[in-house]
Amino acid sequence: MHFRPRLLLPLLLTVSPAALAADPANPLLAPSPLPYEYPPFDRIRDEHFAPAFAQGMAEQLAEVEAIAANPATPTFDNTLVALERSGRLLNRVQRTFSNLAGAHSNDAIRATEKAMAPRLAAHTDAIRLHARLFARLDALHRQRDQLSLDPESRRLLERTHNDFVRAGARLSAADQARLKAMNAEIATLQTTFSQNVLKETNARLLVVDRREDLAGLPEAEIAGAAATARAEGHPGKFALRLLNTSGQPALGALENRAVRERLHRASLDRGSQGGEFDNRALIARLARLRAERAALLGYPSHAAYQLEEQTARTVGAVNKLLADLAPAAVANARREAAAMQAVIDRESGGFTLAAWDWDFYAEKVRRERYAFDENDLKPYFELNRVLRDGVFFAATRLFGLTFRERHDLPVYEPSVRVFEVFNADGSPLTLFLADLYARPSKRGGAWMNSYVEQSSLIGTRPVIGNHLNIPKPADGQPTLLTFDEVTTLFHEFGHALHGMFSAVRYPRFSGTSVPRDFVEFPSQVNEMWATWPEVLQNYARHHQTGAPMPPDLLAKVMAARKFNQGFATTEYLAASLLDQAWHQLRPDAVPAAEGVLAFEEAALRQAGVAFAPVPPRYRSTYFSHVFSGGYSAGYYSYLWAEVLDADTVEWFKQNGGLTRANGDRLRTLLLSRGGSAEAMDLYRAFRGADPEVKPLLQRRGLAGE
3-state helix, strand, coil in the chain (%, to 5): 60, 5, 35
CB 169 within 8 A of CB 134: yes
> Does residue 110 lie within any of the structural domains?
yes
Is 194 found in the same domain as 208?
no
Q: Is the pLDDT of residue 11 over 80?
A: no
- Average pLDDT for the chain: 93
Instruction: Tell me 557's DSSP state.
Output: H
Residue 481 CA: distances (Å) to CA of 394, 485, 533, 678: 18, 6, 19, 37
Q: Is the pLDDT of residue 613 over 90?
A: yes
Q: Tell me, what's the pLDDT at 487? A: 95
Give the range of the structural domain holding residue 426, as residue numbers without chain letter. 379-563
CB 688 within 8 A of CB 427: no
Q: Is the pLDDT of residue 402 over 50?
A: yes
> Does residue 422 lie within any of the structural domains?
yes
> Does residue 551 lie within any of the structural domains?
yes
| Final residue in a domain of this structure, among 268, 295, 310 | 268
Would the CA dihedral through 16, 17, 22, 27 be positive or negative? positive
Q: Is the pLDDT of residue 12 over 80?
A: no
Per-residue pLDDT reduced to its tens digit, 524-576: 999 999 999 999 999 999 999 999 999 888 888 888 888 999 999 999 999 99
Q: How confident is the model at residue 419 (pLDDT cuts 50, 70, 90)?
A: very high
Q: How confident is the model at residue 153 (pLDDT cuts 50, 70, 90)?
A: very high
Instruction: Tell me 79's DSSP state.
Output: I
> Does residue 578 lie within any of the structural domains?
no
What percent of the chain lies above the pLDDT cut of 70? 97
How many domains does the chain contain in total?
Answer: 3
What are the backbone angles phi and psi of residue 595, rounded to the nearest 5°? Answer: -105, 5
Separation between Cα atoms, residue 497 and residue 399, nearest integer Å? 10
Would the CA dihedral through 44, 49, 55, 56 be positive or negative? positive
What are the backbone angles phi and psi of residue 548, rounded to the nearest 5°? Answer: -65, 155
| Final residue in a domain of this structure, among 563, 586, 604 | 563
Instruction: Tell me 697's DSSP state.
Output: H
Q: How large is the average pLDDT for residues 60-88? A: 97
| Final residue in a domain of this structure, among 164, 198, 232 | 198
Separation between Cα atoms, residue 63 and residue 77, nearest integer Å? 14
* 20/285: higher pLDDT: 285
Give which of 478, 470, 471 is closest to 541, Cα–Cα. 478
Q: Tell me, what's the pLDDT at 65? A: 97
Per-residue pLDDT reduced to its tens digit, 651-670: 999 999 999 999 999 999 99
User: Of all helices (H) and strands (E), which one includes residue 420?
Assistant: strand 417-422
Is 229 found in the same domain as 96?
no
- 59 belongs to the catalytic site: no
* 376/39: higher pLDDT: 39
Q: How large is the average pLDDT for residues 426-430? A: 98
Which of 1-5, 174-178, 682-686 bottoms out in mean pLDDT, i.e. has the lowest? Answer: 1-5
Give which of 467, 461, 381, 468 is closest to 421, Cα–Cα. 461
Q: How large is the average pLDDT for residues 90-115? A: 94
Q: Within its chain, how far is the Cα of 474 from the centroid? A: 28
CB 438 within 8 A of CB 243: yes
Separation between Cα atoms, residue 268 and residue 263, nearest integer Å? 9
> Does residue 528 lie within any of the structural domains?
yes
Q: Is the pLDDT of residue 635 over 90?
A: yes
CB 408 within 8 A of CB 36: no
Is 194 found in the same domain as 230?
no
Per-residue pLDDT reduced to its tens digit, 221-260: 999 999 999 999 999 999 999 988 999 999 999 999 999 9
Q: Tell me, what's the pLDDT at 15? A: 38
CB within 8 Å of 593: residues ≥ 6 apart: 280, 281, 283, 284
User: Of all helices (H) and strands (E), which one includes residue 525?
Assistant: helix 516-526
> Does residue 355 lie within any of the structural domains?
no
Per-residue pLDDT reduced to its tens digit, 445-483: 899 999 999 999 999 999 999 999 999 998 899 999 999
Q: How confident is the model at residue 10 (pLDDT cuts 50, 70, 90)?
A: very low
Give which of 651, 520, 636, 638 is closest to 581, Cα–Cα. 636
Q: Is the pLDDT of residue 9 over 70?
A: no
What are the backbone angles phi and psi of residue 410, rounded to the nearest 5°? Answer: -70, 150
Question: What CATH number does residue 42 fall under?
Answer: 1.10.1370.40
Instruction: Tell me 169's DSSP state.
Output: T
Q: Is the pLDDT of residue 196 over 50?
A: yes
Q: Tell me, what's the pLDDT at 117? A: 80
Which of 66-80, 361-375, 671-685 bottoms out in mean pLDDT, i.e. has the lowest? Answer: 361-375
CB 80 within 8 A of CB 160: yes
Q: Taking the CA atoms of the chain, what radius of gyration do you get in angstroms?
A: 25
Residue 569 CA: distances (Å) to CA of 156, 325, 626, 702, 704: 37, 9, 19, 10, 16
138-169 in b/e form (b: 16+ CB < 10 A) is: bebbeeeeeeebeebbebbbebbbeebbbbbb
Q: How large is the average pLDDT for residues 378-394? A: 97
> Does residue 93 lie within any of the structural domains?
yes
Is 194 found in the same domain as 253?
no
Q: What is the 3-state secondary structure (H, E, C) of 305-340?
A: HHHCCCCCCCHHHHHHHHHHHHHHHHHHHHHHHHHH
CB within 8 Å of 171: residues ≥ 6 apart: 129, 179, 296, 297
How many other C-beta atoms lie within 10 A of the C-beta of residue 547? 10
Is 244 found in the same domain as 134?
no
Q: How confident is the model at residue 704 (pLDDT cuts 50, 70, 90)?
A: low
Q: How large is the average pLDDT for residues 493-502? A: 98
- Which one-letter amino acid corresponds to residue 350? G
Is 219 found in the same domain as 135?
no
- Rounded to 10°, the helix 315-346/596-607 angle is 90
> Does residue 652 lie within any of the structural domains?
no
Q: Is the pLDDT of residue 7 over 80?
A: no
Is 252 found in the same domain as 119?
no
Separation between Cα atoms, residue 186 and residue 193, nearest integer Å? 10
Instruction: Tell me 485's DSSP state.
Output: H
Helices (H) and strands (E) in the chain, counts: 27, 7
Q: How confident is the model at residue 404 (pLDDT cuts 50, 70, 90)?
A: very high
Is 209 found in the same domain as 181?
no
> Which one is catalytic: 63, 374, 492, 642?
492
Q: Is the pLDDT of residue 435 over 70?
A: yes
Q: Is the pLDDT of residue 687 over 70?
A: yes
Instruction: Tell me 389's DSSP state.
Output: I
Is 233 found in the same domain as 177?
no
Give which of 522, 471, 506, 467 is closest to 682, Cα–Cα. 522
Strands 206-208 and 238-240: antiparallel
Which of 68-82, 370-384, 426-440 bottoms out in mean pLDDT, i.e. has the lowest? Answer: 370-384
**Angle, CA of 228, 234 and 236, to the nearest 5°:** 90
Is 192 found in the same domain as 261?
no
Is 118 found in the same domain as 232?
no
CB 448 within 8 A of CB 469: no
CB 492 within 8 A of CB 468: yes
Is 557 found in the same domain as 526?
yes
Q: Tell me, what's the pLDDT at 241? A: 92
